[in-house]
Structure 1
Amino acid sequence: MESVAISAAQINWNGGQRITLTAGDTATCTALSPGQLYGIFIYNSAQNDNNSTVSVNWSNSQPPVPITVPGTTANAGLASLGFVSGTDTQTVSVSLSSNAGKSQVEIWLGSVSMPTNTSGLSNYPLPADGEQHPFNKYTRYYAVPPSKWMNLTITSTITQFLSCQFREAQATVFVVNETSNGLLSGQVTTIGPTASEVGAVKISYSQIQSISNNLQGDGTQWVWMDADSQQNSQSATISLQSL
């Protein structure tokens, strides 16, 4: 039986856009900015139970960092998150090895400025009206709160609902309705010295169906992105209220 060669793709990822990687593909972004923290959102979209492992290359002097995304059927899994700082590198690449078989992942970049190409994602302003807004998969909300206290609330009836909040050099992973086991090992990976500093990436848990966080605006942008599956996000909401 004649073997079939796999055509590898080198993908320009400078817009941080939502793309799909298959075996042999590499996506490269050369547009990271110093002082900004970026989240790499990785979903297993192969629709089988096989895990997929991507390699994140951020330095010529350090080996690539592997991130394993658990297998899932019907595209039902939540995201694995990798965080890297533009202070450490201007360039980051995400690859699936050529021997990855039928592995397939969806990826995009999140930060206060990424993705600049929002194709494939829903990008909305989050008004400070205290109203609950749908927080679906592929959704990004942004706001520039004034210099006063605000309250952010995320709700979900689903166990272990994940989302991520970005500031310029910080990120917070919110876990609503946490399970007794907590996050899966490897679900949140920090890459490089700056992203690995204490306080750069925080994880905030609640054991109930909502989580609230008081924040003080300062005229800079805040961003919130869903990191869960489509069906787990159907009942999720996000709200911002002026105090």
Structure 2
Amino acid sequence: MTVSSINWKNGQLITLDPGDTATCQTLTGGQLYGLIFYNAAANDAGANISVVWSQSQPPVTVSVPGTTANQGLASVLFVNGSDTTTVSAAMLEGQLGARVEAYIASVSMPEDTTGIINKPLPADGKNHFFEKFSRYYTVPASHWYQAQIHSNINQFISIQFAEESAVVNVVNSEADPAPRILAVGRAKNQYNTNVSQYQTISWSLQGNGQQLVFVNADSVQDSQGTSISLQSLSAQYARS
């Protein structure tokens, strides 16, 4: 098997095989990033990814659950650009049959969106559907909005990114998502988890002219039929 060193500077969608290492040296101070890993093996082989994010702290191991037919769930590691400008992810040798797809999510990444469904999320209150690698972006004005995610699938997970924070939204929750959602350094205090045991989860957000990004962290089959909507509440507020 050919071992490769991957230049991950654009946070683009990549594939990691045993022995591969991907390195990004362009993280920005103050910004929160999510390294998102999908099991892409054609069998049920799980994978362990070793992530180096600090010269003074040991690498962290991200476990990506085994699956079949490239239908796996995602594992996420949050990293803050103020802790490091460089992060590397390596799949160690000896993990036979393992393969992982990964990209870096934030308000600015991936800069190269090849293979990512990257499109605006209008504040029209209508449902917009997720796919496996979906990234919705919006720049809400300075008033209140209502966001909503609907899914008939158990344990659907998505992430809302702002510049320095994130919200992990879990719909139809069945289990603690913590084993799949990890963070290091400052990032440990920069995300919250919003859990609903029902098919719909909704929350209010206030725009400030800065970009928000919504990505899914779930499998192909779990993403199908799952929708997100964003509605401006400015008209309702004006009448109150």
After TM superposition, the score normalised by the length of structure 1 is 0.94
Which SS does the other structure have where 1:127 is aligned?
coil
Identity %: 51
User: What's 1:3 paired with?
Assistant: none
Q: 1:234 aligns with which of 205, 220, 224?
A: 224
Q: 1:186 aligns with which of 156, 179, 191?
A: 179
Q: 1:145 aligns with which of 124, 135, 140?
A: 140
Q: 1:203 aligns with which of 193, 201, 215?
A: 193
Q: Give yes or no for the alignment of 1:158 onto 2:159.
A: no
The structure with more helix, counted as a fraction of residues = 2
What is the CA distance between 1:99 and its match in structure 2?
Answer: 2.0
Q: Deviations over 1:134-187 (max 9, x none)?
A: 1111110000000000011011000000111000111111100101x322x520
Which SS does the other structure have where 1:195 is aligned?
helix
User: What's 1:107 paired with?
Assistant: 102
What is the CA distance between 1:100 and its match in structure 2?
Answer: 2.0
Structure 1 residues not aligned, in runs of 5+: 1-5
Q: Deviations over 1:186-240 (max 9, x none)?
A: 2011022x0112xx11111001101101000000000000111111111100100
Structure 2 residues not aligned, in runs of 5+: 234-240
The one-letter code matched in structure 1 to 2:43 is: N
The one-letter code matched in structure 2 to 1:195 is: A
Q: Give yes or no for the alignment of 1:174 onto 2:187.
A: no
Q: Distance in 2 between matches of 1:48 and 1:204?
A: 32
User: What's 1:81 paired with?
Assistant: 76
Which SS does the other structure have where 1:196 is aligned?
helix
Q: Is the 8 A contact 2:45 2:96 kept in 1?
A: no
The one-letter code matched in structure 2 to 1:161 is: F
Q: Distance in 2 between matches of 1:58 and 1:30?
A: 11
What is the CA distance between 1:7 and its match in structure 2?
Answer: 2.3
Q: Give yes or no for the alignment of 1:43 onto 2:33.
A: no
What is the CA distance between 1:60 and its match in structure 2?
Answer: 1.4
What is the CA distance between 1:14 and its match in structure 2?
Answer: 0.5
Q: Is the 8 A contact 1:47 1:71 kept in 2?
A: no
Which SS does the other structure have where 2:188 is aligned?
coil
